[in-house]
Amino acid sequence: MTKPLTPKVLIVGGGPGGYVAAIRAGQLGLDTLLVEEDRLGGTCLLRGCIPSKAIIHAAGKFHELAHAAGIGITLPQAPTFDLSKAISWKDGITARLNSGVTGLLAKAKVRTLTGRAVFSDAKTCTVATKEGPVTIQAEHVILANGSIPAELKSLPFGGDVLSSTQALSLSELPKRLAVVGAGYIGLELGIAFAKLGSQVTVIEAQDRILPLYDAELTRPVERWLKKNGVAVHLKSLTTGLEGQGPSLKLLYKSADGTDQQLPCDKILVTVGRRPNTQGWGLENMAVDMAGPFVKVDDQCRTAMRNVWAIGDLVGEPMLAHKASKQGEMVAEIIAGHKRSFDPVCIPAVCFTEPEIVSAGLSPEQAKAAGYEVKVGQFPYAASGRAMSMEAAGDGGFVRVVARADNHLVLGIQAVGANVSELSGEFAHALEMGARLEDIAGTIHAHPTLSEALPEATLAALGHALHI
């Protein structure tokens, strides 16, 4: 029997939380071992954020070419789209990023082990590798096991029922795609497939799309869906399916309670994600739970000494950038640094058409928290840069929410083309405790979309210049 490995730090999960924790731990001189059963990079790099944005980008390019006559671009014939080539290009991106993560871990002198870690107690696990089982006994354990797509009992994954992961690896474009769930994953992918020519229909149980964002932000997305023939059925509950192949039908109850059948070729189920807590011995680790999530404090400590948990495993928001920051923090705490996880905001981005960004509190949330607020808004329709990139007519805007008494900025939201690239500035302003006057007094380059932020603050201060 081989001797157990005894690292200072054992990290389970090689996603953006786990590999960042490992790199930082290695930089700090900690003997670190990272265990991952798949390729390094996790859901975000391999099956989620990066590959989905690649396909969204490809779909956007195709859609632009097909609708470019208005700005003087004509093609000798209509563009065509090769999904298999796009998938191959997407896979090349993920392969390069996987290689990059591998190199960064090696540079930080982090050992890696491929296999599934199953815990027998809080600090001991066995990893089933190709070479045989390996036992690990660690001083510190960081759980970064991530999350998996939530499944509906009436629509289990398999065959023509797809998770987001499977949708990103299709070999053929479905002519008719049913999307169950109008959250950000469903609409990001649904819009991409619609741009590529699929007939897309969205079934949503709630009374509006993108329920995590306020109605003002989602209205431009609703307009795009309607304009581009994407049918959305709200207050509708899926009940199952019948048939297969060309005779496949999604069954659902419409808002009026009547039974409906939707003919389709594929069904994409995007009803959220759930923490990956099953099948690896979490029940043997004596940690406390908070509903479906592992319970942690503001340093990501669990109830078991020297066992830490980060990322999707510990609760909303289930976002890669949250996991990375938590992983970096935990590594530094183990190394003796004084840290805690207390961000002013964790920005969220929805890569729909148009894009949505939200950082901090919305006007309604700020009022519910007891603040009297000033709200300023600047429309894309008044932005020269938006006009020059055909984005002034999509209903986009930037909105700032601030306290009425001292003008402290509480939240910044935006919807419009390329607003995802403004998310860093929004979060930075909130984290640094900016006032309206701070942003209004910062000179922004012209012509850029970023000019909409100081213009929105001027509107909140009551002296907008360009509206």
Domain definitions of the chain by residue range: 9-149+275-334, 161-271, 348-461
Looking at domain 161-271, what is its CATH homologous superfamily? FAD/NAD(P)-binding domain (3.50.50.60)
pLDDT of residue 430: 98
The b/e string for 387-400 (b: 16+ C-beta within 10 A; e otherwise) is eeeebbebbbbbbb
pLDDT of residue 71: 86
pLDDT of residue 180: 98
Closest CA to 398 of 420, 371, 365, 370: 420
pLDDT of residue 68: 82
pLDDT of residue 1: 52
- What CATH code is assigned to 9-149+275-334? 3.50.50.60
Q: How far is CA 298 from CA 295, 303, 315, 459, in A?
A: 10, 12, 12, 37
Catalytic residue among 63, 321, 428, 446: 446
- What CATH code is assigned to 348-461? 3.30.390.30
428 is catalytic: no
Closest CA to 277 of 302, 257, 260, 250: 302
Do the domains spanning 9-149+275-334 and 348-461 agree at the CATH topology level? Answer: no
371: number of Cβ within 10 Å:
18
User: Tens of pLDDT along the chain (467 residues)?
Assistant: 578 999 999 999 999 999 999 999 999 999 999 999 999 998 888 988 999 999 999 999 999 988 887 888 888 888 999 999 999 999 999 999 999 999 999 999 999 999 999 999 999 999 999 889 999 999 999 999 999 999 999 999 999 999 999 999 998 999 999 999 999 999 999 999 999 999 999 999 999 999 999 999 999 999 999 999 999 999 999 999 999 888 999 999 999 999 999 999 999 999 999 999 999 999 999 999 999 999 999 999 999 999 999 999 999 999 999 999 999 999 999 999 999 999 999 999 999 999 999 999 999 999 999 999 999 999 999 999 999 999 999 999 999 999 999 999 999 999 999 999 999 999 999 999 999 999 999 999 999 999 999 999 999 999 999 99
Q: How far is CA 206 from CA 171, 305, 356, 366, 450, in A?
A: 32, 41, 19, 24, 33
pLDDT of residue 16: 96
